[in-house]
Amino acid sequence: MLSLKNITVRYDGVQAVKKISIDVEKGSITSLIGANGAGKSTTLKAISGLVPLTSGEIWFEGERIDGREPEKIVELGIGHVPEGKQLFLDMSVLDNLLTGAHLRKDADKLQEDLERIYNYFPILRTARNRKASTLSGGEQQMLAMGRGLMSLPKLLMLDEPSLGLSPIFVKNIFDIVSQINKQGTTVLLVEQNIHQSLQLSDKGYVMENGRMVLEGGGKELLENDYVKKAYLGI
pTM: 0.92
Distance (Å) of CA 200 to CA 30, 103, 130, 171, 172: 9, 31, 33, 12, 13
Asked if 83 and 41 touch (Cβ cutoff 8 Å), the reply is yes
Question: Considering the domain boundaries, does residue 167 fall inside one?
Answer: yes
Question: Considering the domain boundaries, does residue 50 fall inside one?
Answer: yes
Instruction: Give the domain CATH number at 179.
Output: 3.40.50.300
Interval 13-62: pLDDT, tens: 889 999 999 999 999 999 999 988 889 999 999 999 999 999 999 999 99
> Domain range spanning residue 29?
2-86+155-231
Asked if 197 and 204 touch (Cβ cutoff 8 Å), the reply is yes
Strands, E assignment, the chain: 2-11, 14-24, 29-33, 55-60, 63-64, 78-81, 155-159, 186-191, 203-208, 211-217
Question: Considering the domain boundaries, does residue 143 fall inside one?
Answer: no
Number of domains into which the chain is organized: 1
The per-residue pLDDT of the chain, averaged, comes to 92
Edge-to-edge, what's the strand order for the sheet holding 14-24? 14-24, 2-11, 55-60, 63-64
**What pLDDT, on the 0 to 100 scale, is given for residue 230?**
86
Distance (Å) of CA 49 to CA 15, 44, 153, 183: 17, 9, 15, 26
Q: How far apart are CA 234 and CA 226, in angstroms?
A: 10
Helix (H, G, I), strand (E, B) or coil at 143: helix
Question: Considering the domain boundaries, does residue 92 fall inside one?
Answer: no
Question: Considering the domain boundaries, does residue 103 fall inside one?
Answer: no
**What pLDDT, on the 0 to 100 scale, is given for residue 133?**
95
Interval 95-150: pLDDT, tens: 999 999 887 778 778 889 999 999 999 999 999 999 999 999 889 999 999 999 99
**What pLDDT, on the 0 to 100 scale, is given for residue 36?**
84
Question: Considering the domain boundaries, does residue 46 fall inside one?
Answer: yes
Asked if 34 and 40 touch (Cβ cutoff 8 Å), the reply is yes
Question: Considering the domain boundaries, does residue 96 fall inside one?
Answer: no
Question: Considering the domain boundaries, does residue 141 fall inside one?
Answer: no
Interval 172-196: pLDDT, tens: 889 999 999 999 999 999 988 899 9
